[in-house]
């Protein structure tokens, strides 16, 4: 970007009352827990590494620390508790909240619910997973269970993957991966901690790629264009 000029690939042209305005691309983040990946996104937006704004944080848990991070940084947030008796109520509220925010990109940053296709339909969404997909992914592989499975398998390397969200759980086109060596002395917790640090880097870079739009998808590959 030339100093003093807008890099228009990160902005939308909006026509309002006969005038053209530039609107910065926006992100909606969904998180269920501590929100360290969310914090990495916040810091990247503040530093201008991500040229965009965070429209809203949605969480399914009222005790998620990610909510405190949003409040501390003046980011709108909403808690939508999961309704086990009627999940469609929950999915509908998530869908309505997304439509209201109307983001250019949805980021699942440690969101512990699998969302049906119709919830995210019409939007681009990315997800971060704590393994090198397609290994150790899919239903049942989440949180510490992933790292337990990696150690039990004898794998010498693990890491994290950011991928586009599709109808297949953890099966969408892979944007990028970061690799971590599995050490002999590793426990599931120590491996998780080292991978988590790589997640902070990966999620920011993946958002940059997705907002930039300079990529093509070939099968399950995301190719820079």
What distances in angstroms separate CA 190 from CA 35, 170, 184, 206, one per listed residue? Answer: 18, 23, 11, 24
Measured distance CA(33)–CA(53) in Å, rounded: 21
Catalytically active residues are 129
Bridge partners, 217 (sequence order)? 222
Three-state DSSP at 195 gives: helix
Measured distance CA(179)–CA(53) in Å, rounded: 28
155 with 184: CB under 8 angstroms? no
70 with 51: CB under 8 angstroms? no
């Amino acid at each position: 970007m030339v100093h003093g000029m807008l890099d228009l690939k990160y902005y939308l042209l909006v026509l309002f009352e006969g005038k053209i305005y530039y609107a910065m691309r926006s992100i909606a983040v969904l998180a269920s827990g501590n929100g360290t990946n969310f914090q990495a996104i916040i810091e990247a937006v503040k530093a201008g590494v991500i040229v965009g704004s965070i429209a809203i944080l949605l969480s399914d848990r009222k005790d998620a620390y990610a909510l405190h991070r949003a409040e501390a940084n003046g980011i709108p947030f909403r808690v939508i508790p999961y309704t086990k008796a009627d999940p469609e109520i929950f999915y509908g509220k998530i869908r309505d909240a997304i439509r209201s925010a109307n983001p250019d990109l949805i980021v699942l940053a440690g969101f512990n619910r699998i969302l049906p296709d119709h919830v995210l339909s019409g939007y681009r969404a990315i997800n971060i997973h704590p393994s090198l997909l397609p290994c150790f992914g899919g239903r049942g592989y989440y949180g510490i269970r992933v790292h337990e499975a990696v150690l039990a398998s004898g794998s010498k390397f693990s890491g994290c993957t950011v991928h586009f969200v599709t109808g297949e759980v953890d099966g969408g086109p892979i944007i990028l991966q970061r690799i971590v060596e599995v050490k002999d002395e590793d426990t599931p917790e120590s491996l998780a901690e080292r991978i988590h640090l790589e997640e902070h880097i990966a999620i920011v870079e993946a958002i940059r790629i997705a907002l930039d739009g300079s990529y093509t998808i070939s099968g399950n590959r995301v190719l820079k264009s």
